[in-house]
Amino acid sequence: MRRSIRSLLVATAAAALVLPLCAATAANAAPPGFSNADKDALRNQAPRDLAIGSAVWGERDLVVYDPASPTELQQVLGDQFSSLTPENDMKWDAVHPAPGVYDFSSADALVAFAEANHQQVRGHTLLWHSQNPAWVNEASQTWTCDEARAVLEDHIRTVVGHFKGKIYEWDVANEIFQDTWDAGGVRLRTQANPFLRACAADPVALLEDAFRWAHEADPDATLFLNDYNAEGINQKTDAYYELAQRMLADGVPLGGFGAQGHLSLLYGFDTSIQANFERFAALGLNVAVTEADVRIPLQEGETGPTPEQVALQTERYDAMLEACLNVPACSSFTVWGFPDANSWVPAVFPGEGWATIFEDDFSPKPAFDAMLESLREATPGTSPRQG
């Protein structure tokens, strides 16, 4: 018979007194004044070695922060999550708006909030084809590979170095493979990504050096490849698997593979996510769900989803989390922001929405409840892979 929630909380609190300090235990520790006896929290029910995170836009939500009087979003963010991902604040256009000019103001506010609430931070992202500043898009049209390498190296060393010791996982290379494939297989985005385009003669060499530069700037951060449509076993993840094998054989400090987890009820669910994670874990890599949301198609005039849609969304959120819990190497599970009013989905996917785990009044949805129960069943405060 499952022990009562209260007895589990008591056992968890007692165990916390005798366990040695480590990054994971610090991340899942409750913030000062927080009592899990008073409210249920994802972060408190998670295994010690699994960070439960949310994306947040620091410039919008965290630059103004008074711990004595937090906004409702800030309260939920601090109470529920042990990890934060900057939704936009560490992307190129935010931190490197002009040549030689760096602006860490909003990213620093996010890190400060995380430190105040005993949370870790996932860095996102260092090499991507999107959200680059205008100066990069313009200058890259005439870059040689050496020029592109110099700009990228300066950026990575500067940004990772600025946050040294404050980031536990970095998405170094984001969405580097195309969505479509043919008889030739899945190809790198050598046309869309300005840096890969400039070094199209040997783009993998540039990728490998990007990881080396990041590792030299912060040897303690775990460095990830990250992409969408990368949950299950398919041609895209086959390409990542082959790339990971090559990078590891070349001695590159690759530490993890991240599946974003942006799902839609317009499509089926790939049940091979656990098997996919297991094969990357067998290479010695961490794995993670890095940007989870499940968008729902909404007809014009509808006030919300149907009960059937809600049930299916709940099932898919929980299935992603269960796959993570079942793989010892899964180090973090991150939802891509909340509430629905802050979600990127309606602007990018017209006609779809209701994608996060919180209503706009910050009340939890059924998906939240299902995830909380799955974390409880994984044994609060401990990990099945430690016992």
In angstroms, how far is CA 161 from the centroid of its own chain? 20
Task: List the structure tokens of 150.
Answer: 């110099």
What is the crossing angle of helices 72-80 and 105-116, to 10°?
Answer: 60
Q: Is the peptide bond before 85 cis (omega within 30 degrees of 0)?
A: no
**Which of 53-92 are b and which e, b meaning 16 or more Cβ less than 10 Å from the residue's Cβ?**
bbbbbbbebbbebeeeebeebbebbbbbbbbbbbbbbbbb
Helices of type H across the chain? 5-18, 23-28, 42-45, 58-61, 72-80, 92-95, 105-116, 134-139, 145-162, 194-198, 203-217, 235-249, 273-281, 307-325, 345-348, 366-377
The identity of residue 101, as a single letter, is V
Exposed/middle/buried for residue 4 (C-beta within 10 Å: 0-12, 13-18, 19+): exposed
111: Cβ contacts below 8 Å, ≥ 6 apart: 121, 163, 166
| DSSP per residue, 6-36 | HHHHHHHHHHHHHSPP-HHHHHHSPPTT--T
Q: Which is nearest to 13 in space by CA: 358, 380, 344, 387? A: 380
CA distances from 38 to 9, 50, 237, 284, 338 (A): 11, 22, 42, 39, 22
**Cα dihedral sign, 330-332-336-338:** positive
- Say if residues 375 and 52 touch (Cβ distance below 8 Å): yes
Task: List the structure tokens of 55.
Answer: 């994306």
Phi and psi based region of residue 133 (left: phi greater than 0; alpha: psi -120 to 50; beta: remaining) = beta
Catalytic residues: 175, 291
Which 8-state DSSP code applies to residue 4?
Answer: P
Task: List the structure tokens of 289.
Answer: 């769900």
